[in-house]
Amino acid sequence: MSSVHVSRHARIRMMAAVATVCALSAAPLAHRAVAADTPAYTETYRPQFHFTPEKNWMNDPNGLVYYKGEYHLFYQYNPNGNSWGDMSWGHAVSKDLVHWEELPLALSHDDEEMVFSGSAVVDWDNTTGFGTKRNPPMVAIYTSAYKNGGKQAQSLAYSTDRGRTWTKYQGNPVIDIGSTDFRDPKVQWYEPTKSWLMTVSLSAEHKVRFYSSKNLKDWESQSEFGPAGATGGVWECPDLFPLAVDGDKKKIKWVLVVNINPGGIAGGSAAQYFVGDFDGKRFIADDKGTYTPPTGTVVQDFEGAGFGEWTTSGTAFGQGPATGAVDGQGAVTGFDGKGLANSFHGGDGATGTLTSPSFTVSSPYLNFKIGGGRHPHEAGTVLDRTPPEGTVLADFEGGTYGGWTATGDAFGSAPAMGTLPGQQQVSGFLGGGLANTFRNGDAITGTLTSPEFTVDRKYLNFLVGGGNHPAGSANPTAVELLVDGQVVRSATGKDNEALNWASWDVGGLAGKTARIRIVDDNTGGWGHINVDHVMLSDTQARPVSQETSVNLLVDGKAVRSVTGADSETLDWASFDMRPYVGKEARIQILDMNTAGWGHVLADRFTAADKPAKSVVQRADWADYGKDYYAAVSWENAPGGKRYMIGWMNNWAYGQSIPTSPWRSAQSVPREMALRTVDGQVRLTSKPVGSLESLRHKRPATVSDVTVKSTSKPLTGRGVKGKALDIEATFSLKDAERFGLKVRTGAGGEETVIGYDATTQEVYVDRTRSGAGDFHSTFPGVQAAPLKAKNGKVELRILVDWSSVEVFGGSGEAVITDQIFPDPSSTGVEVFAEGGTATLDRMRAWQLRSIWR
């Protein structure tokens, strides 16, 4: 992703970047404090063999090029803070893709533009005239993100001293199509036509455009590719390169990588790819054929005049099935037959539920079609929107702040009446007014402080939304409770414009005199806060559901949930019902959202023996984890190798991860290849070979360990650790799931790296991996398809202080996930569930730090 703007158009882009709705925490985030005298690169979560800048925010890798013995890694960087903003190009170099030297800032933002993502080339023949043939220039091709109006265009900068200093081209931009969604140019030399080739994204259109040039300055459009594959988010950071299939240099295929956010395979950000042919002008993806879902017994197809025995609440679903779009709605497609459940009756402002009768689960899977908004179910939320009874301290109605005192400009002279200019839709507040600091975008700051009041109830409840910048961080957007001038409670938004309830237990402060202070001290992405209905009550306010989802209810609780993808096109989804066979269940379709895309579509619920697969599941992914995005590859690498690296984070929660004074890491560089797997040509990856130079000489070795429905710690010298390189081979027996647990320890912490023999998937479960309460979508399980070979499963696992990278089989199944365990959690265990499995052999190397 190129970055997040602060202009109106930028806010629209940010909406795509962080569209996930989440419940809002009422407690301050549990960031582990880092002592001021902690040496750099030894902080609690600091990666030891992944690149991180010494301080500040980083996202996309940029300008990947090899020149004169150095691999250059430029990257999106905020030189002024630990959250997104002031986007510039940071710079690091390496001789081996493992050890990195951070260099001074390369390309800086200025008063006119931010420097978004792009690429770099060595202009060997000096086609630009920026250097000489004896000293060819290094040329950066980047996206100018203009601060006035949000337009994006492609520009040049050049260096004649191996990338140490840079000059922006006076003739910028070199391509300008007047778009606000035109970014991330990847440029390479295309030898057959003796010209430069640019691959660039038309992000909102889900297209990639190809340009050709003789001199990097004058470009001619050649063709476009897309929409195709997964299109549930913006397309960004494209890359195009050739690879030999199965090592046969006579059989060359081209790979087009298109990063997508949100809408990735694991939710949020991800790297999609296509395999096909390229003739210098056009990329044509290989035909993967049509998809036929599994057959089964139809439970509900909404073909009747009414909902039958299904019951409704609210008004959103109308009196019966819709026959497509309803009044005010765009065209609805992808449903079967004539009818479907459609909650757009009354527009996005209406809410309601549609619930099936109770049934006994008897089939392994429930398949169905779903569309509409991407507003996921949140555990612990309630459907009742009625606020608790109590004493209202501020409802921000009546056009004034009453006795509240404002400083700075962010709060203006009076409450906002909802959404402000340039802001995505604000929802969840009560009445007509609220405190909203998105005035002049995120660029201004201020505080709003209540008069003194006496704490005389058990709870202090309020509605909060906006940016996730906790109190105590460098630039907070937070609600604070002050007693004797000290902050004793705080809460923040979750990078979402939907307000939801937060609640503080203030029973221990009874009789104290207090004030509420709302703080906006942030000018970066999501640098604002929304607050409403501050009240004292003897009842704790519970976060209200804001989902648009289909849920499976067992014992009254949602045990499975799927949401739409901000699309009026329905797509297949599936619930794994196997754990609930024999139990009573219900299907519930919920529309509890009143903002943009606040509706849900559903059709054709079918009990089946196999799961249906969505377009996203049928797409091809370079990585199936949550934390691999903006993946691009190096140009000019020695030996014709193709190395790729990705941003090891996710826009859903990227600005909230609990690290300081830096935020974000890059993945381990990977060597890419095309291999035929089960008859299909797949992009595979393995860690760069030079990573093995970090291994301590002698690995810890474990052989022939059989476990049955249990977990067994692996002991012995060198097995434990916070930075490990593990190679493991398992034999399938009759266990349903088996594998390794890493970073086990404090309070039951563990990161599970397993294989599910029934679904034939490798998976990472980070639900108990340590700190994860900073965002509701962080905990979870990520899975990648992987078939066993000759009854064996082979895994390569890289464990760092705050991440795991899992490579299954021949590298066709890769999962990259961040984790934030306690430093004392260093154990490794082998486990099996539902039967027996054998760990044939495991070798585990301790890895040395690249920083010491």
Residue found under tokens 């050649």:
222
Residue environment code for 811-824, b if the CB has 16+ CB neighbours within 10 A, otherwise e: bbbbbbbbbbbeee
CA–CA separation, 686 vs 675, rounded Å? 12
Measure Cα distances from 319 to 300, 316, 334, 588 in Å. 16, 9, 22, 16
Predicted confidence band of residue 16 (pLDDT cuts 50, 70, 90): very low
Sequence-distant (6+) residues with CB within 8 A of 39 are none
Categorize the per-residue pLDDT at 83 as very low, low, confident or very high, splitting at 50, 70 and 90: confident
Tokens of 218: 């004058």
As a whole number of angstroms, the distance between CA 192 and CA 278 comes to 12
pLDDT tens track for 656-669: 899 999 999 999 99
CA dist 58 and 75 (Å) reads 7
Q: How far apart are CA 684 and CA 672, in angstroms?
A: 6
Task: Place 515 in a pLDDT band, splitting at 50, 70 and 90.
Answer: very high
Confidence check: pLDDT of 635 > 60: yes
What is the β-pairing status of strands 56-67 and 662-663?
parallel
Alpha-carbon gap, residue 280 to 213, rounded angstroms = 12
Q: 189: which 2 tokens?
A: 């030399």
Of 60, 566, 603, 623, the active-site residue reads 60
| Beta bridge mates, 365 | 576, 608
* Residue 202 DSSP code: E
pLDDT of 323 strictly over 60: yes
- Report pLDDT digits (tens) over 497-513: 999 999 999 999 999 99
Of residues 774 and 561, the one with the higher pLDDT is 561
Query: Is the Cα torsion angle 653, 659, 664, 668 positive or negative in sign?
Result: negative
Report the distance separating Cα 267 and Cα 274, nearest Å: 19
Phi (first) and psi of residue 8, to 5 degrees:
-60, -50
Residue-wise pLDDT tens digits, 707-741: 999 999 998 777 899 999 999 999 999 999 999 99
pLDDT digits (tens, 9 = 90+) for 118-160: 999 999 999 999 999 999 999 999 999 999 999 999 999 999 9
Residue 840 is a catalytic residue: no
Q: Is a pLDDT exceeding 80 seen at residue 531?
A: yes
pLDDT-above-90 percentage for the chain: 89
Mean pLDDT of 447-474: 94
pLDDT at 36 over 60: no
C-beta of residue 699 within 8 angstroms of C-beta of residue 712: no
Q: Mean pLDDT, to the nearest integer, of 247-273?
A: 96
What is the pLDDT averaged over residues 26-50? 68
Question: Which contiguous run of DSSP H or E holds residue 11?
Answer: helix 8-17
Token output for 47 = 């990666």
Average per-residue pLDDT for the chain: 93
Residue 176 has pLDDT above 60, yes or no: yes
195 vs 212: CA distance, rounded Å: 7
Task: From 653, 466, 475, 478, select the one nearest 81 (Cα to Cα).
Answer: 475
Q: pTM for this one?
A: 0.88
Q: Evaluate whether 242 touches 252 at the Cβ level (below 8 Å).
A: yes
Amino acid at 279: D
Q: Which residues pair with 479 in a beta bridge?
A: 491, 518
Report how far residue 97's alpha carbon sits from residue 688's, in angstroms, rounded to the nearest whole number: 7
Report d(CA 409, CA 405) in Å as an integer.
Answer: 12
Range with the poorest average pLDDT among 438-442, 727-731, 791-795: 438-442
What pLDDT is attached to residue 488?
Answer: 96
**Tokens in use for 341?**
């459940």
> How far apart, in whole angstroms, are the C-alpha atoms of residue 551 and residue 557?
9
CA distance 572 to 128: 50
Residue 776 confidence (pLDDT): 84
The whole-angstrom distance between residue 239's C-alpha and the CA centroid of its chain comes to 19
Helix (H) or strand (E) holding 548: strand 548-554
The single-letter DSSP state of residue 137 is P
- Please, which pLDDT band fits residue 5 given cuts at 50, 70 and 90? very low
Cβ-based neighbours of 160, under 8 Å, separated by 6 or more: 130, 131, 135, 137, 138
String of DSSP letters for 203-241: GGGTEEEEEEESSSSSEEEEEEE-S-S--SSEEEEEEEE
Contact between 103 and 129 under an 8 Å Cβ cutoff? The reply is no
The DSSP output letter for 340 is B
Give residue 281's pLDDT.
97
